[in-house]
Structure 1
Amino acid sequence: MQFLRLDQFAAHLNETFMVEIDQMRAPFVLVEARPLPYQPMPGLVREPFSLLFRNESAIVFPQRTYNMQNDRMGEFGIFLVPIARDKDGFIYQAVFN
């Protein structure tokens, strides 16, 4: 299992991540990467964090694990949840804890 960290994503704000959706690829732009509050404890693998991505499609994609690829970060699976809609499309969140 790959343990992704906040610092790996923070350097990629406003970059496009391609997501495989039903045999097609859709662009998701990373619009926010922030730490989440937590209590330090023994055995903590990583500090929790949240990512927000924007997709400009008029169709909302369901929450599930998607294969995501970025030219500099490579390919990995990520669980995305649609959380909002704005004038530019839908916002999806990934939470790591």
Structure 2
Amino acid sequence: MDLLTLEHFAGCLNETFLADMQGMEAAFVLVEVKSLQGSLQGSHRAPFSLLFHNGSPVLFPQQTYRLRHPALGELGIFLVPVAQNRDGFVYQAVFN
């Protein structure tokens, strides 16, 4: 796949991305796709942010996860836990 852009994810809002977590599947639902201000000189894409929700009571550490999506295929995305709610945890990926 080419360089990932906001447009790749915009049509996937509220859809599930699956990650293999040591033999168990974890569902990350894309809950926000947001453009970020500014870009680095010479950058090949406009910066953007993704927020994913995972309903597990287990906090997954920040790391690169292999997420699978029916339309986008398998992607390595670095996720950082940024919030907790009563339904699980929210993870952010920033592309710049």
Same fold (TM > 0.5): yes
- Matched with 2:43 is 44
- Matched with 1:91 is 90
SS at match of 2:7: helix
Contact 2:39/2:46 (<8 A) preserved: no
What is the TM-score when the length of structure 1 is the normalising length?
A: 0.92
Deviation digits for residues 58-90 of structure 1 (CA, Å, limit 9, x no counterpart): 000000001000011111100000000011110
The amino acid that maps onto 2:15 is E
Report how many aligned residue pairs link the two structures: 96
Deviation digits for residues 13-72 of structure 1 (CA, Å, limit 9, x no counterpart): 00000012223220000000000000463x211000000000000000000001000011
SS at match of 2:8: helix
Aligned-partner Cα distance in 2 for 1:82–1:92: 4
Superposed CA RMSD: 1.4
SS at match of 1:7: helix
Aligned-partner Cα distance in 2 for 1:80–1:63: 5
Aligned-pair identity (%): 53
Structure 2: stretches of 5+ with no match in the other structure: none
What is the TM-score when the length of structure 2 is the normalising length?
A: 0.93
- Matched with 2:77 is 78
- Matched with 2:8 is 8
